[in-house]
Amino acid sequence: MTLLKTIWYNYSSSGGNFPDEKKNYFLLGFIIAGELAAVLCILIYIVCFLPDTGYVSGAGQNSPGKGTEAVQLSDPGINADIQVSGNVVSVKEEITFANAQKEIFAYIPSANLSKTTIKQISVNGDFEKEIVDGTNLVVKCERPQDKIGVQYEMVLDSRQTTLSYSGSCILLTNFLITPAVYRNNAPIMTYKWYFGDPYIYGMHNYSITFKIDKSYSIFAPGQKQDIVRGGTRIAAFEADNLRDFPAVLFESAEVRTQKTGGTTLYYVNSSASMEHVNYAFSYAQKIIGPYPYKELFIVKAPILNEGMEFSNMIFLSDKSFSNSETLKRVSYHEVLHQWFYGIIGTDQINEPFLDEGIVNYLAMRLCNDSFSENYNGNLFNLHLKDYSTREEYYELAYNSSTLYFYSLNKKLGDRFFKNLGKIYESKKYKILYYDDFIKLMN
């Protein structure tokens, strides 16, 4: 019950019925004046301070049909207030960690594609800050902390990357600071790299509020509440069990929907891919496991790469829509990443071949392609930074890795696909490393 409702309830239950004409009218007037003053205070609060909180009301036109009553979003692992003004994105973020620690490690993924400046860090007590390799935030505290606040700013450029600004379209992906992933009791450190996917994420609950120009529609995962006040759109999202949190802003967007089981597919300027996306989506559910989320956004995006995957969202490039065969292949590949990346995470820093190879193999298998067994074994030993060129990366992490998974499928036969289901059950919402994969395949 909102505070305003509580005030009305108290009024109606204690002062709303007047059984006696001899009632003390002075006292009655005092009570009514007090109630009106309280209501006025609430209205002033809503008008003046609502944009800086998680309270918004009304379902947006691209919302998955949520109710219009004002809600307060929960306090998840990552809580952020984001203001977008032109190509400048300002973030005020609070991160809650699973365990209290004196030395906190977190990733700054936006540093790969935009100028990112840390403005302020808030912890309980004294601390020292260090940024390692441009993308790792290390906060050393005087006593263990399970929560920190970070304020930072990103300046987006128009290079047609997945974190960019082009006026009519703003792409916000791999941009929120997130807790580091640990393996063998040590954080996996990231670094800036100009190709591949230099990111790794655990699973987090997100509570995100955007303030943007009202001319934009915004699309992002989770329960959405949306309101326009003056020239500003305030949109709040609550999403659980995601690796990253992507959002796209369009001044003009054509949206079509398609229901598949318990999931709604949202095609944002991308309806031409509908047949391919639905086919790959059904295939993945059959051979790997159920898609556990209520929505998937398929976005036609102005990017140089042919496609890209995120939690509950895929990008298909503008250029991929100019060729039907390319659109089919890119759609298959990116949809399958919802399972190997989104649901089942991988270490894209140290084992970049794992998710790309298996996804590429399954996508090419859907296209009835032929394969050889001549893969290059060097792919197992190369971290992302070990690839000297983009061409070498694609040749080994994609093409040669595809042939490795084909050879494994040929060796195991139907057990290969049964084991994919076993991997799904064992590693859902977790990180799958290659040694885990080998054990589960055998």
> For residue range 243-261, what is the model confidence (pLDDT) as tens digits?
999 999 999 999 999 999 9
CA atoms within 13 A on the CB side of 399: 9
Beta bridge mates, 217: 250
What is the reported pTM? 0.83
Q: How far apart are CA 100 and CA 22, in angstroms?
A: 62
Confidence of residue 242 (pLDDT cuts 50, 70, 90): very high
The pLDDT tens digits of the residues spanning 266-306 come to 999 999 999 999 999 999 999 999 999 999 999 999 999 99
Confidence of residue 335 (pLDDT cuts 50, 70, 90): very high
Alpha helices (runs of H) in 89-140, residue ranges in sequence order: none
The pLDDT tens digits of the residues spanning 379-410 come to 999 999 999 999 999 999 999 999 999 999 99
Are the C-beta atoms of 82 and 150 separated by less than 8 Å?
A: no
Beta bridge mates, 102: none
Confidence of residue 35 (pLDDT cuts 50, 70, 90): low
Alpha helices (runs of H) in 337-397, residue ranges in sequence order: 353-366, 390-393
The pLDDT tens digits of the residues spanning 195-236 come to 999 999 999 999 999 999 999 999 999 999 999 999 999 999
Are the C-beta atoms of 58 and 68 separated by less than 8 Å?
A: yes
Question: Whose CA is closest to 251, among 164, 313, 166?
Answer: 166
How many CB atoms within 10 Å of residue 228? 12
The pLDDT tens digits of the residues spanning 364-380 come to 999 999 999 999 999 99
Bigger pLDDT: 32 or 200? 200
pLDDT for the residue 52: 37
CATH 3.20.20.70 is the classification of domain 74-243: no
The pLDDT tens digits of the residues spanning 95-123 come to 999 889 999 999 999 999 999 999 999 99
Segment holding 304, helix H or strand E? none
| Residue type at position 73 | L
Q: How far apart are CA 146 and CA 136, in angstroms?
A: 18
